[in-house]
Structure formats: C-alpha cells, structure tokens
Amino acid sequence: MELDDIKKHWDTNATHNKTALLSTTKTPTIKQLEIDAFYREIKKLHENTSKQKLLEVGCGNGYNLFGLADSFPMIEMYGVDYSEEMINAANTLKKEQPNSNIQFEVADVLSIQDEGISASTYDYVITNRMLINLNSWALQKKALENLVSLLNHDGHLILIENFNSSYKNQNELRELIGLPSRVPDAYNKFLDEDVFEIFLRNELNLQIVDSNNFASLHDILLYVLIPHFNSGKVSYDHPIMESVTNLLKDLPDKFLKNFGYFGQNNIYVLKKK
C-alpha cells in the first residue's frame, strides 16, 4: 500500500471512530497490555524525584499517554501523530481527563525536526506499532534515525512493533491445529528482527537494554485456540481474553518471558551509548 493510502486509512479510522479505542486497534485487550508493557519499562528507568520528558510519536488518539500519565506525574508527556484527525480526537479526550497536561500536535516522523519538534530533548521517546505503517525498510530506518535524534544524551527509545519471526511462529501453531496462516494487513510492513537489531547496534549505536514478547500467551489464545473452536473466527470480546489480560497485567516480572515467542508485539528498550 502507498504511504498516502496508509495515511488515508488512519484518517478515516479517526474520522469514523473519533475518541473510541477502535481508531487505533481492533483489540481492546492488547491495548491494556501495551500500556502495561510501557509502564513496566518506564518504571524501571524513571527517577521519581526529577522532572523528565516523554514523547510518543504516532500517538493516535492518545490512549497510551492517558494510560501512563497518572502513574508518572513527574514526567511531562507529549504526543504527535501525522493524522490531524487523530490529534483532534486526542484533544477531545484530553478535555475529559481531569488535570491532564499532555500536549498533542500534528507531526510526521519522516520530517519531525522540520515540524518544530526539538532534537536532543526527551528522556523517553516511545512508539506503538508506528514503524510498521511505513511501507519500506528504507523509510523505517529513516524514522528510527529521526527518533534517536530526539533523545537527550542518556535517553531511552522504547518501541512496541510487530516482527516477522514471532508472527511466523504463531502461524506455525495455527497450522498445527488445522488453521490457515494469517497475513498482515495491507497497510503494515512487519520488521525483520535480525536486520532490525543489526541496524540498531551498528548504525544507530544503541544498546538493547531489554526486549520482551509480552503478549505471547494473549495471542496464542486470541489467534490460535479461540479460532480453533470458533469456526476459524477471532473473537476479540471472548470472556477468556479479559481473564488472560488481567493475569498478564498482574504477573510478576520474573514470569513475563515464560510463554514463548508467539505474540505479534515485541517491546524493545534502547539506550543511546
């Protein structure tokens, strides 16, 4: 899919769904786990005694930032998205949030410093399935370079993205029980994990502090087991999905990596050397 068509997809989503979660994801439970994954990683890094700044690039209508803000009152939070419709929805949601000081504005990751977003400013830059909406590895690399340029000298880039390797593993499970392989949406280009990590280390000089396939158990249920007894259909609102989500949110960190490598989402915590 061409870049303009990808942007139109998200503009249309935001126009139709406005402040609803459906603007950015079909899966309510994965949004809970994405916010929890960001929370866990930022909590390990954050010093509650000092003011810090966090920017989400590709913030959609703001659910991640609203979900994190109460837990980190000492962090100033900012969100940018290339869809004006998404930012309009985020600002509408902001009016419903008591004492919310999150700032939202329109900006494109591919030209972010030309749009008034200052370099070397942020302690944390986060993204959530943003890179996969760029239709080539060349553009994904450019976006990563721009993201790194926004960090201060010891800042952290925290990415949740979709990768081919864990998606392939998930499809192997589906095939084992007679389900067809799934394919990514036309507006997504999943990342090759090996190529991605080499670029991070060798070209961007980033340290990989942590990575975690945090939704593996969630995705085994949602995309493998439920379709197996549901005529092949994914059921986003199946009651067991809320149960597994609550379990994973309450899970101690020591158990987080115990469920294999079958989830679409991987979180990476990266530090400037």
Domain boundaries, the chain: 3-163+186-214+263-272
DSSP state of 223: I
**Which CATH superfamily hosts domain 3-163+186-214+263-272?**
Vaccinia Virus protein VP39 (3.40.50.150)
- The set of residues, in sequence order, having a beta carbon less than 8 Å from that of 245 and lying 6+ positions away, is 29, 32, 33, 218
| Nearest-angstrom CA–CA distance, 223 and 212 | 19
Q: Residue 18: its pLDDT value, please?
A: 94
CA-wise closest residue to 58 among 120, 147, 121: 147
Q: Residue 122: its pLDDT value, please?
A: 96
CA-wise closest residue to 28 among 58, 63, 79, 57: 63
Q: Residue 98: its pLDDT value, please?
A: 75
CA-wise closest residue to 189 among 262, 110, 136: 136
Q: Residue 50: its pLDDT value, please?
A: 80
Q: Residue 115: its pLDDT value, please?
A: 86
Q: Residue 273: its pLDDT value, please?
A: 79
Q: Residue 182: its pLDDT value, please?
A: 97
Q: Residue 97: its pLDDT value, please?
A: 84
Q: Residue 53: its pLDDT value, please?
A: 96
Tell me the two tokens of residue 87: 């930012």
Instruction: For residue 197, count CB atoms less than 10 angstroms from its CB and return exposed for 0-12, middle for 13-18, buried for 19 or more.
Output: middle
* Tens digits of pLDDT across the chain (273 residues): 999 999 999 999 999 999 999 999 999 999 999 999 999 999 999 977 788 999 999 999 999 999 999 999 999 999 999 999 999 999 999 999 877 899 999 999 999 988 889 888 999 999 999 999 999 999 999 999 999 999 998 899 999 999 999 999 999 999 999 999 999 999 999 999 999 999 999 999 999 999 999 999 999 999 999 999 999 999 999 999 999 999 999 999 999 999 999 999 999 999 987
